[in-house]
Chains A and B, each alone.
Chain A
Amino acid sequence: MNSLALDLHPPARRRRTLTWFPFAALSPSLLVLSVFFALPMGMMIGMSFTQTETFSPTLDHYQRFFTDGLSIAGFCRTALMSLLVAISVTVLGYPVAYFLARSTTRWRAVVFALALAPELAGVVLRTYGWLIILEDRGFINDLLLHLGLISSPLPLSKNLFAVVVGLTHVVLPFGILSLMTSIQGIDPNLERAAQMLGASRLAVIRTIVLPLSVPGIVSSMLIAFTMAASAYATPALLGGAGFKVLATMIYEQVLFYIDWPFASVMAMSLLLMMLAISFVGVRYESRRRSRASVSSGGER
């Protein structure tokens, strides 16, 4: 009896050690986050449910959000813009990521530096760059007017198009990195095997690389979507008054209308949008992975 208890004891204790230690490692960052993140967040949530004059709980701000028309439109604009950025980042980034994952030439280092270089210049700087190119009196319109191809400037700025272009530029390196990591995880012999079986380069990408890099595609879309939805500077400068998104609208509420409770409601809607998208993405990934592990249940 005694010896049995002795036998059972050590593994149980070891397991307990393993469970608390990782949490202990979290504590410094938990502390910082709770003071500078959870606390303001709580205040924001509280504010969104509070009457401005009487400080009594209310749903008035939410009602206004759903009925004034402008707010819902802003919400939809933000979602649409983020989705378009997610798609364009992933589509544009994929070939670059594939090159970076597979190339062994000296060009790899050059392309890698070029792909990440945009992050060295600040967001505002890059956005002004795009403004110079896309404005009514900007480079593209000037050129086309000069060549006589158009008679009045094309609407290239202060709209969805300009914001998507600018944000794609900002977010692209993150998309490339996450796609690259995923493609690097695919055994290059799989591509060679497919080639030996008669698959053209394009067929190899379609039948082998794309399906196996789905996790990378999902994470690239998630990163791009959340970065785009929360971006302020680029929509503010390239969208302006013509294309307002939640981030710029929140700023307006706080600074011009000094309506903190309503700004909080908008912030809540933005937060929930991103949480919902992340949840869908993570859920998709974990279901895919559990399917894979169910099929790996057999002997190895």
Chain B
Amino acid sequence: MNALDIELVSVSKSYASMAVVRDIDLAIPQGEFVSILGPSGCGKTTTLNMIAGFTAPSRGDIRIKGRSQVRVPPERRNIGLVFQNYALFPHMTVTENVAFGLKMKGVRREEAETTVKSALRSVHLEGMGKRYPRELSGGQQQRVALARAIAPRPSVLLLDEPLSNLDLKLREAMRIELKDIQQQLGMTFVYVTHDQEEAMAMSDRVVVMWQGAIAQEGQPAALYREPNSRFVADFIGKSNILAVASTATQAAHLELAVGDGLMLKARKTELSAAIRYCSIRPESIAVLPSGVGGNGFANLLNATVRRVVNLGAAFEIDADLGSDVRLHVLLRATRASVPPSVGDAIRLGIEDADIQPLSA
């Protein structure tokens, strides 16, 4: 078990009577890449500002390496922060920007020079030291911001939507690079984002926030497979969310009544609260030709194709199951797969494990 780098103990923040963050408990072990993920206004930025020290929590405690930080000003927390707009010092060269933290710490000049060089090397910006920030592209500025933040070797690095100003290609490349850098340094990263793909791609653990509270936390794959609420199922990836009218426990299955009299067989769960929805991922639904095969599936459903959208790598099929139920199905585009046409009768196969019952 790693030592804990950051602990939030029932941290709350309210402005006037508005609760922005409610009772957050979070423990981040040393060396973990944690994403705080949520839509705008969910309290993730406030949480980040409380960890950084720019905002004081109304209640609760924030600990870094076991020490309470509530009364410690930002400059003495030994935390790095990468801003969304990079916040590079425009009047300083790249080298001066990266050396700033070391200078403030009173690191000796020769030592600082070596550290700056290795920081620039780790973000692939060797030889750019004499340039000014405005002479760099957005992606390069982003790297300088990262180098500046890691140069003083903070115990924790906070990243506030650092990739959101970059174009898609660069963003995808930077995801991989960020993860590599984090692993090389073994530094704890707390990454705040509203982009679920980003969070899924990089994180060891994702904390989903909604309306100021933690909706769910866990490994990306687990969150995707087993969301615990309609919100998480919908926010992470795409999902078919169906309202469940009633449930019945059978010998082997849990039967969920959806729509106007359609029964779906799901696995039995230990959910104590009443099941009100279920979530089915579009790519977990198999498209079978009408009439043959598919005996392995717990659920076999007849459907009519209403719409087919070609997404390149896949076809998105809008399937009408009758009884007021429609499902989005993702059919992977392979050389062999022939997408159905609008109006075709098809059958859909869904495994019981792929139907995730939700209580909220």
> A: which residues have CB within 8 A of B?
187, 189-190, 192-200, 203, 207-208, 211-212, 292, 295-300
Contact = CB atoms under 8 A, between A and B. Distances in A.
A297 B83 contact: no
B172 interface: no
Interface of B: 52, 54, 73-76, 78-81, 83, 85, 87-91, 100-101, 104-105, 131-132, 134-138, 148-149, 152
Contacts of A194: 89, 100, 104
Contact of A189 (B75, B78, B80, B87): B87
Nearest to B93: A295
29 contacts: A187-B87, A189-B83, A190-B89, A192-B52, A192-B54, A192-B81, A193-B81, A193-B148, A194-B100, A195-B73, A195-B75, A196-B75, A196-B81, A196-B149, A197-B75, A197-B101, A198-B101, A198-B105, A200-B75, A203-B104, A208-B89, A212-B91, A292-B134, A295-B132, A295-B134, A295-B135, A296-B132, A300-B134, A300-B137
Nearest to B141: A300
Given A192-B54, A194-B100, A198-B75, A297 B135 contact: yes
Given A211-B91, A295-B135, A299-B137, A193 B83 contact: yes
B85 A187 contact: yes
A192 to B, nearest CB: 6
B266 to A, nearest CB: 48
A196 B158 CA distance: 10
Nearest to A297: B135
Contacts, number: 75
Contacts of B85: 187, 189
A214 to B, nearest CB: 9
Nearest to A204: B75
Contacts of B54: 192
A199 B87 contact: no
Contacts of B83: 189, 192-193
Nearest to A293: B134
A195 B75 CA distance: 5
Contacts of A299: 137
Contacts of B101: 197-198
A199 B104 contact: yes
A43 to B, nearest CB: 47
B13 to A, nearest CB: 16
A212 B89 CA distance: 9
B104 A298 contact: no
A211 B75 CA distance: 20
Nearest to B138: A300
Given A198-B105, A297-B135, A298-B135, A193 B75 contact: no
Contacts of B104: 194, 197-199, 203
A298 B140 CA distance: 12
B75 A296 contact: no
Most B-side CB within 10 Å, residue of A195, A208, A298: A195
A217 to B, nearest CB: 14
B152 A198 contact: yes
